[in-house]
Amino acid sequence: MEIEIKDYFQYNAAVTLTMFFISFIAIILNFFTRGWTNKHIFSTERASLLNPMTYIRLFTHVLGHADWDHFASNYLKILLLGPLIEEKYGSINFLIMILITAFATGIVNYIKGGTRLLGASDVGFMLIVLSAFVNMTQNKIPITLVLIILFYIVEEVRDLRKRDGIAHYGHLIGAICGGIFGFICENQQLTDILLNIKNNIL
């Protein structure tokens, strides 16, 4: 009797899982190349605009991680929330969200200068904020959204000046992107909420 893997496992979130496996390969490559792949492919920093890799790395930096702990910390969030977001908004839209978030963080880091940036923490924070919009029903703002903003966003703003080797501004940019995506995707529901608030006040 022949047993096939597909009979037991489902590739249930194509973008989420593909990103995970590429990042997993990237961290293995970084180990065997003694940091070369992270430095030249899977990180971003201010570099010559004449170098094509400068533009590519504005996106690929989310695939690189400094070590296993960095990788695991980010993908615990992404593997937990990614499939939920991908199922709700579709794989293509989810991929676009990731690319926009990576680009936004990469551009800010380029302008800021002086720091090599890598890791998918900006994507993780984008997912944290965006996931709060998933439960937006009955024309009401979820309390979870308010709490997430209070706990995560305020915490990251407070930590912006810390010199702990963590790009807190990247987390903040990811969270802002998640909020923007949520408002865009749930625009009709938000419009109804604002109209209800206006009608109740007036």
Q: Which domains does the chain have, with CATH numbers?
A: 5-201 (1.20.1540.10)
Q: Provide the token pair at 164.
A: 């702990």
What residues have CB less than 8 Å from 134, skipping those under 6 apart? Answer: 84, 85, 88
Q: What pLDDT, on a 0 to 100 scale, did the predictor assign at position 172?
A: 87
Q: What pLDDT, on a 0 to 100 scale, did the predictor assign at position 132?
A: 79
Q: Residues of 113-150 as b/e, b for ≥16 C-beta within 10 angstroms? A: eeebbbbbbbbbbbbbbbbbbbebeeeeeeeebeebee
Whole-structure pTM value:
0.84
Half-sphere exposure of residue 23, counting CA atoms within 13 Å on the CB side?
30
Instruction: Quote the CA–CA distance of 178 and 81 in Å, as a whole number.
Output: 12
Q: What pLDDT, on a 0 to 100 scale, did the predictor assign at position 24?
A: 97
Q: What pLDDT, on a 0 to 100 scale, did the predictor assign at position 14?
A: 94
Angle of helix 91-112 versus helix 121-134 axis, rounded to 10: 130
- Return the bridge partners of 117, or none: 44
Q: What pLDDT, on a 0 to 100 scale, did the predictor assign at position 1?
A: 42
Query: Is-contact 15 86, C-beta < 8 A?
Result: yes
Instruction: Quote the CA–CA distance of 139 and 86 in Å, as a whole number.
Output: 22
Q: Name the DSSP letter for residue 6.
A: G
Query: Is-contact 179 129, C-beta < 8 A?
Result: yes
Q: What pLDDT, on a 0 to 100 scale, did the predictor assign at position 197?
A: 58
Q: What pLDDT, on a 0 to 100 scale, did the predictor assign at position 70?
A: 92
Consecutive 10-residue averages of pLDDT for the chain (202 residues): 62 94 96 93 90 94 93 94 91 93 94 84 91 70 75 71 68 89 73 60 62
